[in-house]
Amino acid sequence: MSETSPITTEQLRQWDKRHVWHPFTQMQEWERDEQIIIVKGEGCWLIDTDGKRYLDGVASMWTNVHGHCRRELNDALKEQVDRLEHSTLLGLASEQSIILAARLAEITPPGLDRFFYSDNGSTAMEVAVKMAYQYQVHKGRPERSRFITFRNAYHGDTLGAVSVGGIGIYHTTFKPLMFETLQAPSPYCYRCELGCSRDSCNMECVKALEELMEHNLGQVAGLVIEPLVQGAGGMIVQPAGFLKSIRDLCDRYGILMIADEVATGFGRTGEMFACNHEFVVPDIMAISKGIAAGYLPLAATVTGDNVYSAFLGPYSELKTFFHGHTFTGNPLACAVALRSLQLFKQDNLLAELQPKIAWLKTRLDYFMSMSHVGDVRQCGLAAGIELVEDKETGTPYPWEDRVGIRVCLEARKRGVFSRPLGNTIVIFPPLAISNSELEMLLNVLQESIRVVTE
Ligand SMILES: *Cc1c(COP(=O)(O)O)cnc(C)c1O
pTM, rounded to two decimals: 0.97
pLDDT for 319 equals 97
248 plus 341 within the same structural domain: yes
Kindly indicate the confidence band of residue 286, based on its pLDDT and cuts at 50, 70 and 90: very high
pLDDT for 4 equals 65
442 plus 417 within the same structural domain: yes
385 plus 302 within the same structural domain: no
CATH of the domain at 225: 3.40.640.10
Ligand 1: which of 58, 127, 155, 258 to mutate, most ligand atoms within 8 Å of CB?
Answer: 155
pLDDT for 173 equals 84
Ligand 1: which of 24, 154, 266 to mutate, most ligand atoms within 8 Å of CB?
Answer: 154
Ligand 1: which of 58, 122, 237, 325 to mutate, most ligand atoms within 8 Å of CB?
Answer: 122
Mean pLDDT of the chain: 96
Instruction: Give the mean pLDDT of 163-187.
Output: 90
Are the C-beta atoms of 101 and 115 separated by less than 8 Å? yes
Tell me whether residue 301 is in a domain.
yes
pLDDT for 141 equals 98
Are the C-beta atoms of 260 and 211 separated by less than 8 Å? no
- For 348-383, the pLDDT digits (tens) are 999 999 999 999 999 999 999 999 999 999 999 999
pLDDT for 236 equals 98
Residues 6+ apart with CB under 8 A from 166: 149, 150, 151, 152, 153, 154, 183, 186, 233
pLDDT for 6 equals 86
CATH of the domain at 389: 3.90.1150.10
Tell me whether residue 367 is in a domain.
yes
296 plus 330 within the same structural domain: yes
User: Is there an atom of ligand 1 within 6 Å of 121 CB?
Assistant: yes
Query: Distance between CA 414 and CA 399 in Å, rounded?
Result: 24
259 plus 165 within the same structural domain: yes
370 plus 239 within the same structural domain: no
User: Is there an atom of ligand 1 within 6 Å of 263 CB?
Assistant: yes
Q: What percent of the chain has pLDDT over 70?
A: 99
| Residue 24 burial (CB count, 10 A) | 8
Total number of domains constituting the chain: 2
Kindly indicate the confidence band of residue 106, based on its pLDDT and cuts at 50, 70 and 90: very high
- For 41-54, the pLDDT digits (tens) are 999 999 999 999 99
Q: Please check the confidence at residue 213 and state whether its pLDDT lies above 70.
A: yes
Residue nearest to atom 6 of ligand 1 (CA): 121
Taking the mean position of all CA atoms in its chain, how far away is CA 82?
31
Q: Please check the confidence at residue 30 and state whether its pLDDT lies above 70.
A: yes
Instruction: Give the mean pLDDT of 320-344.
Output: 97
133 plus 270 within the same structural domain: yes
pLDDT for 347 equals 98
Instruction: Give the mean pLDDT of 273-290.
Output: 98
User: Is there an atom of ligand 1 within 6 Å of 155 CB?
Assistant: yes
Instruction: Give the mean pLDDT of 198-218.
Output: 94
Q: Please check the confidence at residue 2 and state whether its pLDDT lies above 60.
A: no
Residue numbers of the domain that contains 41:
36-66+348-453
Of 251, 248, 230, nearest in space to 187 by CA: 230
- For 309-324, the pLDDT digits (tens) are 999 999 999 999 999 9
Query: Distance between CA 428 and CA 111 in Å, rounded?
Result: 30
Atom of ligand 1 nearest to the CA of 263: 15
47 plus 85 within the same structural domain: no
- For 412-450, the pLDDT digits (tens) are 999 999 999 999 999 999 999 999 999 999 999 999 999
Q: Please check the confidence at residue 171 and state whether its pLDDT lies above 80.
A: no
Of 237, 242, 213, nearest in space to 375 by CA: 237
Kindly indicate the confidence band of residue 3, based on its pLDDT and cuts at 50, 70 and 90: low
* Domain limit, last residue, from 346, 375, 392: 346
